[in-house]
Structure formats: C-alpha cells, structure tokens
C-alpha cells in the first residue's frame, strides 16, 4: 500500500511543484533559479519569524510569562494552517483535475485519499518549519531550556499540523458540500469563506496592542485556547514541563483525529467529487433576447466572470481590498488618539498608516495569475480577431475594477487621519498610480512565468512562481515608500517622491508590455 | 482563400515539425489534411489560424498575411481545435454571445444562427448550463456552433469528428457541404479516411512535417482506396 501511496504522491507532488515552479516547458534552465528562490523565501521568512519570536519572547520574558511563547506560536500556526487549508481543500482533496485518471487506476480509495492528504501535510509542514524552528531557537536563547525541550518540540512539530488540517478539511468540505448543492456554488463559497476570514481576522485583531496587552491577551488567548483546544495545553506541558504523557497524548490524539477523518473521507470522497466535478445541469434553456456589446466589453466581461468564478481567486486577490475597505470604514469611527495610545504614536501613525494603503493595494493583483488561468483555453483568445493589447487591457481593467475602491478608501483614510487637502490628494494619486503599477507588474511577471498546464487552480492562484514573485517583489516596492518616509522625514516630500517613482514605473511597465509583452504573446 | 507558402516550424529541438509546406485551399473547397500521429497536422493548423508563431514562410488568408495582419485574417476564419477546452466558467449561451460580440455578429443573425445550429446539434436545452457540466461531445458541438455563428469564409478544424455521436457527425458533414456551396472554404485534419474520401474534393497527406501527396481526391487516390494510398505513402521511407 505504502509503495502505491508514495508513487501517487510523487506524481502529484511533481505536478504541484511543476505548477508552482513552472517546470512545464523549460525543465532545464529555470527550476534551479526557482528552487533557489523558494529556498530564499523560506530563509527570509524564517529570519522574519525568528525576529518576531525574539521580540514577543522578550516582552513575555519581561512579564515572567515566557512559557506562553510555544503555545502562542502554536496558536498562530494553527490559525495559519486553518486559514490556508480551508481554501485548498477544494482543488486538492475534492474537485482536482486529474480525478478521473487517478480514480481509474488500480489503487484503492484509501491510497488516493492518503496521497492527497499527505500533499496538504507537506505544504503545511513548510509553515511549521518557518514558525516553530525559529520559535525553538528564540525560546532557547531566552529561556535556556534543557535538551528535552528541543527533543519534545521537534517530535511534537511533526504531528502539529494534523489536527488543524483535519479541522480545516472538515470546514472546507462542509463549505464545498453546502455550496455544491446550489447553482451559484462559487458565490456561496466566497460568502462562506469571507465570513470565516472576518471571524479569524476579528479574533487575531485582539492580538494587536501594546506590550502589556500582548502579555494579557497572549495569556488570555492561550488559556482560552487551552480550554477550547486542549492540544495546545498538552503541547505546552510536553515541551515546557517535559511531560512525556502529555507528549504521547498529543501525538495519539493528533494521529487518531487524522485517521478518523481519513475514514470519514472514504465515505464521502466519491460522492463529493462527483457532485463537484459534474456541476449542476438543468437542461431547460429557451432562447430569449440576446444582448450584444463591443469586442472589448465582451473580453472584459469574460475576464470579470473568470475572476468571480473562482472563490479561491477572489479570496486570494481580493482580501487586500476587503481589509482596506473595512479598515477605512473603521477609521471613521475610531479615535486615532485612543488607537495609538499617546499623541506621539498618533503622529507616527498619521505618517505611516498610508503605507498600509499601498500594502493592501499590492495584495490586490488578479493580473498576476490572469495569463496562466487561460490554461488550456488559451487557443480561444489567440484565435480570435483581437489584438494582444485588447487582451491585456481586459485583464488590467479587471484588476483596476477590483482595486478601484482603494482610491475611495485612501480619500477616507486621508480625511480620517486629518491630513490636509494636498496630502489627501497626494495619497489618492499615489494609490491610483500604485493600482496601475501592481496590475501592469503582475501581468508582466505572469508573461515571464506563464503556466498553462496546471492541474489545480490552487497552485496557479496561490503558489505559482508568477504570483509569488509579484507579491514578494511588490512588497519591496511598498518598502521603498517606507524608506522615503524615513529618509525625507515628512509626508509631503516622501509621498511626492514616491508618486514620481511610481509614475515612472507605470510608464516603464507600459513600454515593457507593448514591446516584450507583444513578443511574448506571439510565443505563448 | 488559404495559401500556405513554405511554412516551416521548429520546436526547441532541431527537428522541424513542419518543413517547407505549401498548399492552397480555394473557395468552395473541402480540403482534408491527413497524416499519422505527430506528422505535423496540428502544428500546421495552429500556425494557419495564428495561434502558433512560426519562423519561416507565410500563411495568406483571403489575400492577407496572418503574420502582417492577424486580426483581419482571424475575422474571416473560425478554428476548432482537436480538444475543445472552452471557458468552463461560462454557460453555453454566454460563450456563444461572447464569440458573437467579438466577431460583431448582429443580434438578429446571432439569434437566428444560434437557434439553427443549436437545434441541429440538439444542444438548445443545455445552452443555459455551465460548460463545466458538458460532456466532451457537447463541448465539441458548442465549439462548432461558435465557429459557425459568424459565417466564416474559412473554417479550420482539427479532428472535428472525434467525440461526436453519429448523428452529430452527419449533421456536421451536411453543414460543411452547405458552407462550401455558399463559397466558404474548409480545411480540416482527420484520421477517418472514409470521411475524407467521401467529403473532400482535395486531400493532402503529411509525413514527418513534409507533404507527400497533394491534389484532388481523385488525383491522390487514383484507382486505389485512400486507405491503401495512405498506408503505402507513410510506410515508404
């Protein structure tokens, strides 16, 4: 059995990695660079995680509560796994493209399910490494624990993702199952998932605050999580008090939950996949009045429908704008002085909070996956009497549409922060220019790293080379805004300089799209 | 209507998938393009319709080069690939409307032709459903309808009969004949030699990227069957 599971797993992992790293056409040249990029990403994130752990640990240490750190990180990790896995269930466990092929092979359903769940486990384990290894080092530096801490923590880490994966899969399965009962599956999926996001972000908002609050909230959360999620308590007892029984129970419960879920999955696997892959067909169409529009409008509408057809696409690229809009509305009602704590911090917030606008804008980048998402249907646009410019513009226009509320949000934030008229106008202009930047940049990067042979939408939208490169390099662009603020000292010159830089980048990207982009379109 | 002049296309390996290919499809022709798997049929077809870039030669459609003026060329043609991967997020009617908008088909003509061809292929009741719920054959039918609603002057099809039920295959053959009577040209690849023999007035056989036979159906097959001629040609080194 294990041999077959491993064989299935290797093929599926290769397919997912191929999608992520775009191995597809050019197996020789790019993988090395991209694997190096992935490794670089893990290292950078681990350094960030280590710094965060050290900071939180130091604060906790000042309040003699350092023992909270492992459980706190475990909670953060569990939330991360929960959030990311819920959206991956559809596409990984259910509704994956090669379902027919895999199911026709002489392998048992248990083996197929095991291989799919191991994929979920493998990718979540990267998160475990990024969060828990730096935590171990930071805790080691601050608390000087015995060797058993490292041993118990390392063993516990292996089993840590199991229960969050089970919970996320159950929630994801329920959402997918409920949505599959309706005609507008994706709309319901988006609504359910956004609801879940709001709940989790509302919960994690409690984590923000000043030092004493971090400790209080940290302790409160850990005690609350202990009562709600006893595994966190077991994990803390195991690694802090070297309680062998707690470790055994932690491992036992995690493994048992995983096996129970696998057994449950066996019962619904075929039924769920059938429901998701066949869709709803009513076969009762009657020809009525047909609407017509211009070719460009038709392309734009097609692109917009593509965006809203995938709940994963909407959630992954729309979360920035949702957060920004919610934040902007909240700013109207929240007193800045109360939020910041003291006038000096409030003044700092006034200068730096607009950077958050750019941060949310660069997260709103559907164009980075828009070329790859054409997938095997690419032949349609390529054989239609439309120019490459019309195709690109339709994709950019969808990005502009989705990100457009950011302009209004920027105006609201400017007003709520009490910025002057010039500063507010400047903030609005920077936001508009940033929207153009991220849309064009995402499209260009997707043209450099296209992938049309993807097996699952998940890998294109969430993990493809194009999306990862776009988002992480765009973060550097946001970083420049911060650097300008530090170097130039005040809002007006810093934002003016940033606006000029962004406009310059917009023009450069336009030129790249009409030259390199034109050539690339012919090659696709 | 269609002139392929010295068309060559290589992929990353040095081997030419299509090697200095020349052929001509006139108005009213039903031109069958035959060859075994990997002979270069799909590469030729994808180059003709402007989906695939090519290095050498040219493709002329109604006097215009697909390289120089791709949009004008594509306005006159319709293409159906061997595997019709359509926009699964759209319903059948939304897809047809999308194609109608791109080709600027008037409302009345659009409605009339969609009704005509959807009825002919018995797809009308399913047009409101999502394409993701369609079977392979239904997608193939939808792709064919979308190709016909803008009255193309040149219809290019890659293995159009694969996946169609016998009645739909018959309907397609009738439509192809009617289109040619109206002056359109059809260029299609097929493995079904009987269909090619009965339907086409011109045939070309491709082997290793090169044409090994081209002419009227009578000229190509002579006194033998097309099957015998084909087997003999592809087995000759």
Task: Tell me whether residues B98 and A301 touch, CB distance under 8 A.
Answer: yes
CB B186 within 8 A of CB B175: no
Chain A contact for B64 (CB, 8 A cutoff): no
Q: Which residue has the higher pLDDT, A399 or A414?
A: A399
Chain A residues close to B9, C-beta within 8 Å:
none
* Range A91-116 average pLDDT: 78
Chain B residues close to A298, C-beta within 8 Å:
97-98, 101-102
Chain A contact for B124 (CB, 8 A cutoff): yes
* Range A103-130 average pLDDT: 83
Predicted pLDDT at A258: 87
Chain A contact for B13 (CB, 8 A cutoff): no
What digits encode the pLDDT tens for the residues A304-342? 999 988 888 888 888 889 888 888 888 888 776 666 666
Domain ranges of chain A: 2-278, 295-523
Nearest CA in chain B to A285: B125
A24 has pLDDT over 60 = no
Closest CB from B70, B102, B125 relative to A295: B102
Q: Is the alpha carbon torsion for A435, A439, A441, A442 positive or negative?
A: positive
Specify if B218 maps to a domain.
Answer: yes
What digits encode the pLDDT tens for the residues A187-236? 666 776 666 666 655 555 554 444 445 556 556 656 665 666 678 888 88
Put simply, the chain B residues between 76 and 115 with a CB less than 8 A from any chain A CB are 77, 79, 81, 83, 85-90, 92-94, 97-107, 110-111, 114-115
Q: Which residue has the higher pLDDT, A346 or A109?
A: A109
- Substitution target from A189, A290, A386, A521 for chain B, most B beta carbons within 10 A: A290
CB B206 within 8 A of CB B35: yes
- Substitution target from B98, B115, B123, B140 for chain A, most A beta carbons within 10 A: B98
B127 has pLDDT over 50 = yes
Task: Tell me whether residues A298 and B101 touch, CB distance under 8 A.
Answer: yes
Q: How many domains, chain B?
A: 1
Tally the residues of chain B. 237
Chain A residues close to B118, C-beta within 8 Å:
287
Put simply, the chain B residues between 28 and 47 with a CB less than 8 A from any chain A CB are 46
- Substitution target from A28, A99, A292 for chain B, most B beta carbons within 10 A: A292
Closest CB from B81, B97, B99 relative to A291: B97
Tell me, letter by letter, the H, E, C secondary structure of chain B. CEEEEEEEEECCCCCEEEEEEEEEECCCCEEEEECCCCCCHHHHHHHHCCCCCCCEEEEEECCEECCCCHHHHHHHEEEECCCCCCCCCCEHHHHHHHHHHHCCCCHHHHHHHHHHHHHHCCCHHHCCCEHHHCCHHHHHHHHHHHHHCCCCCEEEEECCCCCCCHHHHHHHHHHHHHHHHCCCEEEEECCCHHHHHHHCCEEEEEECCEEEEEEEHHHHHCCCCHHHHHHHHHHCC
Place of tokens 């080379």: A465
Give the predicted TM-score (pTM) of the model: 0.77
Chain A residues close to B77, C-beta within 8 Å:
383
- Out of A170-179, A339-348, A387-396, which region has the weakest mean confidence (pLDDT)? A339-348
* Range B198-222 average pLDDT: 88
Chain B residues close to A310, C-beta within 8 Å:
89
Interface of A with B (CB under 8 A): 278-287, 290-295, 297-299, 301-302, 305-306, 309-310, 375-377, 379-380, 382-387, 522-523
A431 has pLDDT over 50 = yes
- Enumerate the β-bridge partners of residue B214: B204
- Substitution target from A302, A311, A373 for chain B, most B beta carbons within 10 A: A302
Task: Tell me whether residues B97 and A292 touch, CB distance under 8 A.
Answer: yes
Chain A residues close to B100, C-beta within 8 Å:
290, 292
Chain B residues close to A375, C-beta within 8 Å:
85
- Quote the ipTM score: 0.90
* A377 closest CA partner among A469, A316, A457, A317: A457
Predicted pLDDT at B97: 94
Percentage of residues in chain A having pLDDT higher than 90: 25
Predicted pLDDT at A221: 58
- Substitution target from B43, B75, B87 for chain A, most A beta carbons within 10 A: B87
Q: A-B interface: how many C-beta pairs under 8 angstroms?
A: 110
Task: Tell me whether residues B102 and A287 touch, CB distance under 8 A.
Answer: no
The distance of B125 to chain A (nearest Cα, Å) reads 4
**SS3 assignment, position A94:** strand
Specify if B129 maps to a domain.
Answer: no
Indicate which CATH number applies to the domain containing B74.
3.40.50.300
DSSP A344-372: HHHHHHHHHHHHHHHHHHHH--THHHHTG
Specify if B131 maps to a domain.
Answer: no
* Range A431-451 average pLDDT: 94
Predicted pLDDT at A184: 63
Range of the domain at B78: 2-85+153-235
* B132 closest CA partner among A227, A199, A380, A309: A309
* B130 closest CA partner among A276, A376, A282: A282
Distance, CA of B57 to CA of B19 (rounded, Å): 10
């Amino acid at each position: 059995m294990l041999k077959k599971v491993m064989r299935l797993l290797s093929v599926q992992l290769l397919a997912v990695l191929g999608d992520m790293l775009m191995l597809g056409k050019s197996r020789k040249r790019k993988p090395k660079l991209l694997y190096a990029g992935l490794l670089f990403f893990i290292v950078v994130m681990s350094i960030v995680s280590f710094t965060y752990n050290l900071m939180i640990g130091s604060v906790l240490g000042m309040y003699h509560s350092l023992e909270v750190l492992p459980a706190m990180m475990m909670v953060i990790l569990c939330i991360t796994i929960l959030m990311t896995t819920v959206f991956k269930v559809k596409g990984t466990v259910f509704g994956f493209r090669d379902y027919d092929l895999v199911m026709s092979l002489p392998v048992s359903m248990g083996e197929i399910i095991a291989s799919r769940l191991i994929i979920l486990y493998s990718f979540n384990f990267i998160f475990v490494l990024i969060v828990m290894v730096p935590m171990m080092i930071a805790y080691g530096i601050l608390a000087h624990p015995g060797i058993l801490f490292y041993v118990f923590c390392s063993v516990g880490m292996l089993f840590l993702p199991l229960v969050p994966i089970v919970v996320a899969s159950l929630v994801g399965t329920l959402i997918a199952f409920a949505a599959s009962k309706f005609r507008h599956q994706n709309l319901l999926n988006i609504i359910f998932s956004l609801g879940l996001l709001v709940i989790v972000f509302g919960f994690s908002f409690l984590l923000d605050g000043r030092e004493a609050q971090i400790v209080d909230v940290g302790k409160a959360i850990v005690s609350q999580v202990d009562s709600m999620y006893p595994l966190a308590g077991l994990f803390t007892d195991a690694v802090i008090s070297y309680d062998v029984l707690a470790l055994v129970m932690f491992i036992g419960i995690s493994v048992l939950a995983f096996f129970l879920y696998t057994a449950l999955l066996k019962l619904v696997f075929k039924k769920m996949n059938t429901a998701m892959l066949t869709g709803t067909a009513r076969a009762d169409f009657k020809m009525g009045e047909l609407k017509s529009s211009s070719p460009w409008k038709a392309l734009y509408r097609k692109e917009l429908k593509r965006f809203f057809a995938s709940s994963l696409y909407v959630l992954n690229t729309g979360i920035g704008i949702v957060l920004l809009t919610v934040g902007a509305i909240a700013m109207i009602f929240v007193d800045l002085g109360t939020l910041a704590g003291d006038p000096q911090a409030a003044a700092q917030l006034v200068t730096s909070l607009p950077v958050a606008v750019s941060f949310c804008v660069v997260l709103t980048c559907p164009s980075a996956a828009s070329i790859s998402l054409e997938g095997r249907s690419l032949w349609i646009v390529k054989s239609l009497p439309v120019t490459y410019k019309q195709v690109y513009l339709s994709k950019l226009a969808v990005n502009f549409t989705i990100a457009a509320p950011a302009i209004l949000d920027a105006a609201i934030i400017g007003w709520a922060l009490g910025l002057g008229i010039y500063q507010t106008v400047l903030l609005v202009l920077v936001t508009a220019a940033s929207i153009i930047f991220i849309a064009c940049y995402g499209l260009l990067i997707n043209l450099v790293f296209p992938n049309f042979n993807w097996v699952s939408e998940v890998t294109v939208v969430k993990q493809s080379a194009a999306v990862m490169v776009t988002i992480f390099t765009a973060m550097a662009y946001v970083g420049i805004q911060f650097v300008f603020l530090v170097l130039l000292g005040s809002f007006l010159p810093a934002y003016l300089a940033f606006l000029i830089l962004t406009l310059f980048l917009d023009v450069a990207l336009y030129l790249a799209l009409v030259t390199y982009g034109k050539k690339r379109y012919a090659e696709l | 209507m269609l002139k392929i002049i010295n068309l060559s296309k290589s992929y990353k390996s040095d081997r030419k998938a299509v090697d200095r290919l020349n052929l001509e499809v006139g108005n009213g022709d039903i031109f069958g393009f035959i060859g075994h798997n990997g002979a270069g049929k799909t590469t030729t077809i994808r180059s003709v319709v402007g989906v695939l870039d090519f290095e050498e030669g040219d493709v002329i459609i109604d006097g215009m080069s697909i390289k120089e003026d791709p949009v004008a060329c594509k306005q006159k043609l319709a293409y159906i690939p061997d595997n019709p991967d359509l926009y699964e997020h759209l319903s059948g009617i939304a897809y047809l409307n999308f194609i109608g908008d791109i080709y600027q088909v008037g409302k009345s003509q659009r409605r009339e032709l969609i009704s005509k061809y959807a009825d002919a292929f018995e797809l009308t009741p399913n047009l409101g459903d999502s394409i993701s719920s369609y079977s392979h054959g239904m997608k193939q039918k939808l792709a064919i309808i979308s190709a016909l609603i803008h009255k193309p002057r040149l219809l290019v099809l890659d293995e159009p009969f694969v996946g169609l039920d016998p009645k739909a295959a018959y309907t397609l053959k009738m439509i192809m004949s009617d289109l040619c009577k109206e002056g359109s040209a059809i260029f299609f690849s097929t493995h079904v030699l009987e269909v090619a023999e009965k339907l086409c007035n011109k045939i070309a056989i491709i082997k290793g990227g090169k044409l090994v036979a081209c002419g009227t159906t009578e000229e190509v097959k002579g006194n033998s069957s097309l099957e015998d001629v084909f087997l003999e040609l592809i087995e000759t080194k």
